[in-house]
Chain A
Amino acid sequence: MSSTLLVDKHVTYIQALAKNKDDLAYHLTTHLRMNAIYWGVTALFIMERPDALDRDDILDFVMSCWDEEAGALYFWSAFGANPGHDAHILASLSAVQLLATYDALDRLDTVDSKRARLVQFFLDRQNEDGSFTGDQFGERDTRFLYIALNALSLLGCKDDLARIADKTVAHVIRCRNFDGGFGAEPGAESHAAQVWVCVSALAILDRLDAIDIPLLAWWLAERQLPTGGLNGRPEKLPDVCYSHWVLSSLSTLRKLSWIDAPALERFILAAQDEEGGGIADRTGDMPDVFHTCFGVAGLSLLGFPGLRDLDPVYCMPADIIEKRGLRKDWEALPRRAA
């Protein structure tokens, strides 16, 4: 079992994903394509291999997913997951993050003012009660609330965020549970991924005061199992992606020291596919780009040598967020020397 991060293998694995266009699996996952590229690119940047995929190819792909039709009647437009797919908030955030990562948000400054219509899309997703929907069909989830805030802040919409802050925070508080965690909707069970989106949303709005930090950090620390891995809810199995949801939340709350970092690091490294590259949910399982991204993200927060700093609020390279003036008061473990 490896105690090193197999960077070269992971880079090759991510590069290959973009080339397997003859695979049925590639075509059965087009609804996730924009997200998958964001996961791959973020993993590459954190592994300090930002040039491993072609910047122009990716930016051209992102812009080719622009959906003119879905919101035509409402003066908004946004991104779908793949060319020809409908606009959705999930793909739209990944698109904005990719543009920001490659410092290419100016691609939205077109004669037909794509940027303004995209901002309108995110703003229009908010309901009267402060909650957000994923698209015009109305599914509500705290994930979408975080997504809108993340994208609007990357797009520089400070005034809009200030205007919607109070009702947005009120909704997040309605989703808070007695264990200090948050669910997808008012009444829903706390879940580490929903905790991460709610903590990050509150961080973006500078409203961490809405959190009982000792209580929530306790609940988060109890996600760590004897194997070192983290689960997402009480009495569930550990999974590498929770090294991001739980760890990033603890980082934003400045309580990373409440879990056993070396044990988690061993758990993530053991989930690597040592032959084909990529990271899986657990040792011995099939790797995928989602777990590769969140495994690498977790290792970065744990101070693993040779990695670029990750911003736990945005799940993007920290320097890129800092340059946009969006860095919050989170804390990661010091970067160790190789």
Chain B
Amino acid sequence: MHGVKRAKQSREAIEAKKKKEVALLADYRALEEDVIARKRAGDYSEEAFTLTTKLLKLNFEYYSVWNYRRQILERATFPNASPDKINEVLSVELTFTSAALRQHPKVYWIWNHRSWCLEHVPDGPSEEDPHGWKTANWNKELFVVEKMLDADARNFHAWNYRRVVLASLPVPRPPAEELAYTRRKIESNFSNFSAWHQRSKVFASVWETQEPGDVKLAKDAEFELVKNALFIDPNDQSGWLYHRWLVGDGADVSILSREVGVITEILEIAPDSKWCLDSLVHYKRLLLRGTPLGVDSRALRQECTEILQKLEEIDPMRRRRYQDLRREMDVEA
């Protein structure tokens, strides 16, 4: 149970609630027994199917009943139906589950049932257009997922499912569209790490096939985008994590130095920003790796040590980590 407030209930209130439940419970138990008995007996009739609808509406998490429902479809409905009819039956299933999802956006079994339905959409409507139904259904699914993400922009079921939908579209969407989508999500809330994450995945695959010059241009634009987020709220983790992904292993020293400069600017506005300081240590340590021993490296090392000492003060919860990092640097020196 998540986020349900504990209400103080009097004994009378509890008794009254129980009384009200007696009739409901009896109906539910009778329906459940009926459905399970039919399931055991291999009853794949239309009547049994209707009863599963009734039971699922009372309990959308009853996975065995979802299984039974799919068995009825696979064993009785589909073998005797034209592709046209199958497509229609599956549309009804999808409508049924989208109503369920709006009520229960985090129930795994409902998401599962939808993807099962979509995988079973037949070829059609014609030989000339064999992917017509599939394309229409998967496109509609993308729309449903976007509605779910409008309601809760961090719902990880919806984000994970979105990736399945994108991968299943018979005609793949150009990556630019997904980049535009994640950008919209980020701009409406910089704190939406799910969108930043998705963006990193899209770029990772796009950049694999692009020329280094194009990759560099795109990366610079991303640094600009994330810089805005960092300036607006230097204490929000989301942008910092994305920034760390963009910098990566720090092989490009010019980027590394430029970004250390940017963060130093942010630090001037927010001198006690722990994320600023922690990132500075991380990037300066990356810089250290490429710096020959000497005056410069000693200075960098000294800066890191001082920042880590400051972090111990302003972020005492993670004090031991900063101490461990300092010890690690002493060993390296």
Contacts and interface: CB of A to CB of B under 8 A. Distances in A.
Given A24-B21, A137-B70, A188-B163, A235 B6 contact: no
Interface in B193-247: 193-194, 197-198, 200-201, 236-238, 241, 244-245
A286 interface: yes
A288 B6 CA distance: 11
B36 A188 contact: no
Contact of B64 (A85, A188, A221): A85
A177 B25 contact: no
A285 B5 contact: yes
B28 interface: yes
A217 B328 CA distance: 15
B156 A235 contact: no
Contacts of B317: 224, 226, 259-260, 263
Interface of B is mostly: helix
Interface in A206-225: 217-218, 221-222, 224
B160 A183 contact: yes
Contacts, number: 135
Interface stretch (B54-62, B142-150, B286-294): B54-62
Contact of A286 (B1, B58, B108, B241): B1
B4 A221 contact: no
Contacts of A81: 63
Contacts of A137: 67, 70, 112, 116
Contacts of A324: none
Nearest to B58: A28
A139 B59 contact: no
B5 A189 contact: no
Interface residues of A, number: 58
A233 B61 contact: no
B43 to A, nearest CB: 14
B1 A221 contact: no
B261 interface: no
B135 to A, nearest CB: 22
Contacts of B244: 178-179
Nearest to B328: A214
Which of B1, B21, B58 counts the most A-chain CB atoms under 10 A from its CB?
B1
Interface in B2-43: 2-6, 18, 21, 24-25, 28-29, 32, 36, 40
Given A189-B159, A235-B238, A286-B1, A27 B32 contact: yes
B104 interface: no
B320 interface: yes
B316 interface: yes
A258 interface: yes
A210 B178 CA distance: 30
26 contacts: A22-B25, A23-B21, A24-B24, A27-B32, A31-B62, A81-B63, A85-B63, A86-B64, A88-B63, A137-B116, A139-B108, A177-B197, A178-B248, A184-B160, A189-B156, A189-B160, A224-B317, A233-B154, A235-B154, A235-B192, A257-B321, A258-B321, A282-B3, A285-B1, A285-B3, A286-B6
Given A257-B321, A263-B317, 9 more contacts: A24-B24, A139-B112, A178-B244, A185-B163, A189-B193, A233-B156, A236-B154, A258-B318, A281-B2
